[in-house]
Amino acid sequence: MLNKQFFNAALAVMLVSLPALAHTQVVKPDVVTPVEMSNRDINRVTCVDGAINDAFFSQEKGIVVENNGNNSFIKFLIQDDGLHQEYVSARSEFYLVCAGEIYTLMVSPKDIPGQTIRLSTGAKNRIKDNQELLSPLPDEERAVYLTMAALEDDIPDSFSVSTNTNSEWESRMTAGKPNTQLALRRTIRVDGLGLSLKEFLVRTSTTTTFSETDFLSSAIGESIFAVTMDPLSLEPGQVGRLFVVSKEGF
């Protein structure tokens, strides 16, 4: 029989345990986007810009969808005849209405962990959200907000994050600290306000105390507006975090 009871029980757990979901994919409106979902675990679709208003799909393909605010939870049901279990493998088309925009997902069920799909209208709404969030603040407070968001890993959905997965340690970025090496971890951009932040990892081969001015270098960034180092003193083997905020035209 179809394990719909399993879905309802698992959904209750899911609502308080969302971090267990794995890989995240981003989908834009008005284009058909191929995505992979788990045919064993619950998958989550998040509407970044508002609520999920509706979802359309072929129920006869063994699919259950539950909408909850800006989240939609998708489970491919398992057929179990008591002897063996059969998992859905047929590709399905989903139409999701998110904040008034229609998103088309061509979903391939796979034997993978549960997936998180983010529905985002892209730059236009990001700019609007960023301006509403930060326009009332002076430049100095914007830089503090951006730095704290990165430091605490609490980054608004409207900020664009690029993770540097192939970064190497570089020793030529801090001429005044020859025993220091930096590695770029990620870049965060605030569309519409001309702000960006680079986060570096920092290490040193000797006990070293830093000043933020040690990192005012074109090798680290252009138009540097603010620098924060955490902590300011490092021991050999210890790794610090450096946050460099740049502002267009500064």
Average pLDDT over residues 12-38: 64
2 confidence band (pLDDT: 50, 70, 90)? very low
**Choice between 25 and 151, residue whose per-residue pLDDT is larger:** 151
163 confidence band (pLDDT: 50, 70, 90)? confident
Q: How many angstroms from the chain centroid is the CA of residue 39?
A: 23
Is residue 114 within 8 A of residue 38, CB to CB? The reply is: yes
Dihedral of CA atoms 195, 200, 204, 207 in degrees, nearest 10, equals 50
Q: Each residue of 127-161: pLDDT tens digit?
A: 888 999 999 999 999 999 999 999 999 999 889 89
37 confidence band (pLDDT: 50, 70, 90)? very high
User: Given a cut of 60, is residue 5 above it in pLDDT?
Assistant: no
Q: How far apart are CA 125 and CA 226, in angstroms?
A: 26
Q: How far apart are CA 76 and CA 97, in angstroms?
A: 20
* Predicted pLDDT of residue 24: 66
Q: With 0-12 CB in 10 A as exposed, 13-18 as middle and 19+ as buried, what is 195?
A: buried
User: Given a cut of 60, is residue 18 above it in pLDDT?
Assistant: no
175 confidence band (pLDDT: 50, 70, 90)? confident
pTM over 0.75: no
Q: Each residue of 42-99: pLDDT tens digit?
A: 999 999 878 999 999 988 888 999 999 999 999 999 998 888 899 999 999 999 999 8
Q: How many angstroms from the chain centroid is the CA of residue 83?
A: 41
Sheet holding 224-230, edge to edge: 160-163, 180-190, 195-204, 240-247, 224-230
* Predicted pLDDT of residue 7: 37
